[in-house]
Structure 1
Amino acid sequence: MYPVKTPYFIKKLFPSLTWNFTRAEKVLYLTFDDGPIPEVTPFVVEQLKIYNAKATFFCIGDNVRKHPEVFELLKKNGHSIGNHTFNHLNGWHSPTADYVKNIQKCNELVKAQLFRPPYGKIRPTQILNLKKNYKIVMWDVLSGDFDLNLTPEECLENVLKHTENGSIIVFHDSLKAEPRLRHTLPLALAHWAKQGYNFKGL
């Protein structure tokens, strides 16, 4: 189980992390984790282009190494880039020194100042170590597109029901998420655009 909407008390426990932005403006911050891959990432870029939407892609270093042309597509289209470790490491299961080293390895390729921990799992010692050089970005809406037990319709409902002004929303440009992402993203973008939202990168 996972909360679709990040509970307020969790945000209060970790105030140095970025969870959302001002609720006063009709702006949404779409983020895509685990890419870039040729099977899914170009589809995301094309959907965003329809609405002149900018987003942030938290890239796995090894995927950038394998698919540099897809990574270049993100930059060429003006999207923001974030670091998601080189090997999609779980911070709770990784010694801090190894974790930081893996992030640095990723940053040799992505050259980003934004970081998101895979699985959202990061220890206080890792936060202390990283926040000098990175803005650590979490979220307040988790689409659940990675969840194989979720229908595409339920994924769409997750984001439409819980998104509000200033929300940081998590999607995944991954093979695992693809069936739910391909259904949800076009419909969600159309809905939000109709409501007058702008879409910005971080």
Structure 2
Amino acid sequence: MRLFSKYIWRFSLEKKEIYLTFDDGPTPEITNFVLDELQKYKAKATFFCIGKNIKNEPEIFKRIIAEKHAVGNHTQNHLSGWKSSKKEYVENFLECESEISNAIQKCQKQQLFRPPYGKLKKKQAKKILKKGYKIIMWSVLSADFDTSITKEECLENVLQNTTNGSIVVFHDSVKASKKLRYVLPKVLTQFTQQGFVFKAIL
């Protein structure tokens, strides 16, 4: 339980700040749209990137960095910790770390990690924490990837559950793209009108 408490699930309830996060990119079909929308509102966010996607889409990854968003490690191949050995998982995590380090300056690097599917074994987590990483979870799961809900339900889910200090999970993936194109502009508009600031995780 003590290890579980070292994960970060939300930030301060005292401040009107929201932390939007985007998992699984960079993806040419949707990541540039996300960046364009964030730019309109001077919003900052955190992108938990898959290493192989960084390798395949270096220009989009460079744009994320250039526009001052935070980036985090989401493993090289989107591995489930529950289905992987400690050795296999940590090696995959290190591969992604290497992709990130090769793409950006050391001084810009945030040591943030989010486990794919939110699934992580204790020994895997200990190793990652020992390397100085913060393990970032979430307080609001948008469910933009869920084919059983409508884009309107996805939006309502985010609007109803997001508050001061919320960490919101979206996915800049092909699977989530249709819902994200509908939901993200409305989330940015509504919370900006309510006086919230969108911040990157540092």
Partner of 2:32: 42
* 1:63 has 2:60 as partner: no
**Contact 2:3–2:122 (8 Å) recurs in 1:** no
Q: Aligned partners of 2:100, 2:134: CA distance in 1, in Å?
A: 14
Aligned length: 192
Partner letter of residue 187 of structure 1? K
Q: Where does the alignment leave 5 or more consecutive residues of structure 1 unmatched?
A: 1-9
Partner letter of residue 100 of structure 2? V
Give aligned-pair identity as a percent: 52
Partner of 2:5: 15
When the two structures are superposed, what TM-score results if normalisation uses the length of structure 1?
A: 0.93
Deviations 1:127-182 (A, max 9, x none): 11110221100000000001011110000001000001000000000000001100
Q: Aligned partners of 1:27, 1:99: CA distance in 2, in Å?
A: 33
Partner of 1:124: 122
* 1:31 has 2:21 as partner: yes
Q: Aligned partners of 1:110, 1:181: CA distance in 2, in Å?
A: 25
Partner letter of residue 15 of structure 2? E
Q: Aligned partners of 1:79, 1:187: CA distance in 2, in Å?
A: 20
Instruction: Give the C-alpha shift of residue 38 in structure 1.
Output: 1.1
Q: Aligned partners of 1:64, 1:72: CA distance in 2, in Å?
A: 9
Q: Where does the alignment leave 5 or more consecutive residues of structure 2 unmatched?
A: 102-109
Give the 3-state SS of the residue equivalent to 1:177 in structure 2: helix
When the two structures are superposed, what TM-score results if normalisation uses the length of structure 2?
A: 0.93
User: Root-mean-square deviation (CA), in Å?
Assistant: 1.2
Give the 3-state SS of the residue equivalent to 2:174 in structure 1: coil
Instruction: Give the C-alpha shift of residue 13 in structure 1.
Output: 7.5
Give the 3-state SS of the residue equivalent to 1:15 in structure 2: helix
Runs of 4+ in 1 over 2 A off after TM superposition: none
Partner letter of residue 128 of structure 1? K
* 1:167 has 2:166 as partner: yes
Give the 3-state SS of the residue equivalent to 2:89 in structure 1: helix
